[in-house]
Structure 1
Amino acid sequence: MSDNDSRLRPGDRGLVVRAIIGCLVVLAIIVLGMLLPTPGVTTVRTWADATGSWFVVLFVLVHVVVTVFPVPRTVFTVSAGVLFGPIGIVLCIVASTVAAAIAFVAVREIDRRHPSTLIAKVREQPAYLPIAARLRARGWLAVGSLRLIAFAPFSVVNYASALSPVRFWPYLGATVAGLSPGTIAVVLLGDALTGESSPWLVMVSGVLMATGIAGLLVDARMPARPEG
């Protein structure tokens, strides 16, 4: 690998910087929440437990429907940790994967049948360009690396993937693999806000976030390989 290949390109550098800043912000919020009194959080979890299984189903459905659109999923991930504890990991991964699949199929179908102003606007988004470039260079491998850190916009990755040659099943597999570390980290941090989880889980969250950033850095330094 040459020196030029090992350097971060401008688009990659921006994604890495945003990922690091985002992780630091989330950690700062969680630490602040752990230091402050949290009766409100524990009360909310007690209420959620008392509502029964229908609330879990409603949470997943709302998560799916809302995150198909350009709405950050982080609020659902943190909420899942607060409301459901570690089981929120499964709920968020399932809901996010379904939302990603729906967005991919819908955007690809719209682009195939009726190239529209909406699709043109997606292509004009500033966040779209570096993501689309990574997808062209690495195909579904780029999907996995972009999912490693939740601060690459979830919806933009979905839409950009649909507008790229990436195939559906590799996209879906890379989505699950890439989403899992960050989702586990944030849900466990949300769970820590209740004050009922082990401090070791906070350390696990930090390790997972660091792993995600490391994965993003490794991918950014790899030479581009078009999807075959």
Structure 2
Amino acid sequence: MSISKKHPVLWRIVPIFVSVLLIGLSVWVFIAYRNSFSVIIQSFGMFGVVVAILLMALLCIIPVPAEFLIIVLMGMYGVYWGIFYSWIGSMIGAVIAMYVTRWLGQARVRRLFTEQRQQQIDQWISRRGTLGLLALRFAPFVPYHVLNYVAGLMNIRLWPFLWTTALGLIPFYIGMGGVFLGLSHGIVTAGIAVVVVLAVLGFVSYLLRKRWLKAFLGHTSDEHDQK
């Protein structure tokens, strides 16, 4: 029996706890080092935007949290442009991670995550196709980096990978925008913003997973019964 079945409540709480921890760490890094990051990026002049996008892409290739850089970019370029540049960097990094995984081969990349997690994702995508990939992008319990690596292992086509990644990143960046707006209005407001954003995203994710899982699992069961 898997951990998710033995401890269903824990399986739901852990992703939320990790999300709060990462956002809290990003807030601390932003407050402590925002001037340093801003100076480095601005030192490249008109190419600063390109450097910022490439830095974001790099953080999305390696398994390192990029939330702090997103907040820095929103502070430098404003909420909308900061999110846009971060989103572009995330897309570039996701594509590079997928193809690097294919070039490196399965043996090396499989060491980055457990075999059980990979099997779960493999089975989900193979049974449910592109919509299954989109559902995983919205699911908080599947790390962003892991899904990029698995996409490379499974030889998923570029276009389905691109549009599901693009849509799947939107709720996350809306949440980060809310966190930044909270920061700009004070620490107390920032805390409230974090809680509200996580609650809204968690509720939306729950609704999507509940509906899609029911539809997908029901469809799969019907096919299995017919066979």
For the criterion TM > 0.5, the same-fold answer is: yes
Q: Which moved more, 1:185-194 or 1:98-107?
A: 185-194
Does the aligned pair in 1 maintain the 2:41–2:52 contact within 8 Å? no
Residue aligned with 2:56, SS:
helix
Does the aligned pair in 2 maintain the 1:182–1:212 contact within 8 Å? no
Residue aligned with 2:216, SS:
coil
Aligned match of 1:104: 98
Aligned match of 2:15: 19
What is the alpha-carbon distance in structure 2 between the residues aligned to residue 183 and residue 216 of structure 1?
19
Q: Which moved more, 1:96-105 or 1:17-26?
A: 17-26
Aligned match of 2:146: 156
Aligned match of 1:88: 82
Residues 83-136 of structure 1 deviation map (CA, whole Å, 9 limit, x = unaligned): 44312211121111111111112223444xxxx530442574554333333222
Does the aligned pair in 1 maintain the 2:128–2:216 contact within 8 Å? no
**Number of residues of Structure 1 aligned to a counterpart in Structure 2:** 207
Distance 1:122 1:132, change over 3 A: farther
Does the aligned pair in 2 maintain the 1:67–1:99 contact within 8 Å? yes
Q: What aligned pairs does 1:1-150 form with structure 2 within 5 A after superposition?
A: 10=5, 16-25=12-21, 29=24, 52-86=45-79, 87-111=81-105, 117-122=107-112, 124-149=114-139
Quote the offset at 1:48 in angstroms.
8.1
Kindly provide the amino acid, as one letter, of the partner of residue 17 in structure 2: I
Quote the offset at 1:47 in angstroms.
5.7
Q: Alignment RMSD, CA only? A: 4.0
Larger RCO: Structure 1 or Structure 2 (Cα < 8 Å, ≥ 6 residues apart)? 1
Does the aligned pair in 1 maintain the 2:53–2:86 contact within 8 Å? yes
4+ runs deviating over 4 angstroms: 13-16, 23-27, 38-53, 122-126, 203-206
Q: Any unmatched runs of 5+ in structure 2?
A: 221-227
Structure in which a larger fraction of residues adopt helix? 2
Does the aligned pair in 2 maintain the 1:146–1:152 contact within 8 Å? yes
Output the TM-score relative to the length of structure 1.
0.68
What is the alpha-carbon distance in structure 2 between the residues aligned to residue 45 and residue 124 of structure 1?
34
Identity %: 20
Kindly provide the amino acid, as one letter, of the partner of residue 189 in structure 1: V
Output the TM-score relative to the length of structure 2.
0.68
Q: Any unmatched runs of 5+ in structure 1?
A: 1-8
